[in-house]
Chains A and B, each alone.
Chain A
Amino acid sequence: GAVVSQHPSWVICKSGTSVKIECRSLDFQATTMFWYRQFPKQSLMLMATSNEGSKATYEQGVEKDKFLINHASLTLSTLTVTSAHPEDSSFYICSAVSNRGTGELFFGEGSRLTVL
């Protein structure tokens, strides 16, 4: 079964509202999680690196005030898309590195956001 769970899988919201996406590691602790965004027929683009207990590191061109990341525990990171607009409609995927030392990366199932 999935070791990284994302919620919700699908979300439709009105323009101007905020949407929170959760990423949970189910059977391991993850100090580091990553958030990606994928537009149709394009590659996964890394948005930010989420570190437990500290501020996220954002990639160039990603607005930190628009995409709020919180990694308050070793099993949960959240991405909040604030004041969402139709151009934010995308597939958001998280991944987590296991603290077990193997370095293996696990992906969540993804969250598809549609902003009307």
Chain B
Amino acid sequence: RKEVEQDPGPFNVPEGATVAFNCTYSNSASQSFFWYRQDCRKEPKLLMSVYSSGNEDGRFTAQLNRASQYISLLIRDSKLSDSATYLCVAVSGGYNKLIFGAGTRLAVHP
């Protein structure tokens, strides 16, 4: 079983839609979680951290459920520029050792 699992998508949504991504992790010892965004053939860029109390940044909301080992990302009012692959990340083992999910692809169309 992969340590971090995501629905690969793709999610094809119209502009303005709300879309939610889910992610599960298998290592209960993981302490920190993030969502990264990766554009085609580019390096991943940090989108936001994920906390149990929830974390909101503009149109983006991330949530962590430690009991279920489940992470979510909600994007409201989707923009064309949101089209990318969203990577769920858990910090595992040593300091800053990031374990990436395979990513969920989002395509926002006019």
Q: Which residues does chain B contribute within 8 Å of A22, judged by CB atoms?
A: none
A-B contact count (CB 8 A): 46
One of B54-62, B70-78, B92-100 contacting the partner: B92-100
> In the bound complex, do residue A34 and residue B97 qualify as a contact, i.e. CB atoms below 8 Å apart?
yes
Contact indicator B98/A34 (Cβ below 8 Å): yes
Interchain CA distance A110-B97 in the complex, whole Å: 18
The count of residues in chain B whose C-beta lies closer than 8 Å to any C-beta of chain A is 19
Given known pairs A34-B97, A105-B96, the reply for A43 and B102 (CB within 8 Å) is yes
Task: Please report which residues of chain B, range 40-61, place their CB below 8 angstroms from some CB of chain A when the two chains form the complex.
Answer: 41-46
**B contact residues vs A (CB 8 Å cutoff):** 4, 8, 41-46, 87, 94-103
- The 10 A-B residue pairs with the shortest CB-CB distance in the complex, in nearest-first order: A43-B102, A107-B43, A44-B100, A43-B100, A110-B43, A97-B96, A109-B43, A93-B43, A105-B96, A43-B101
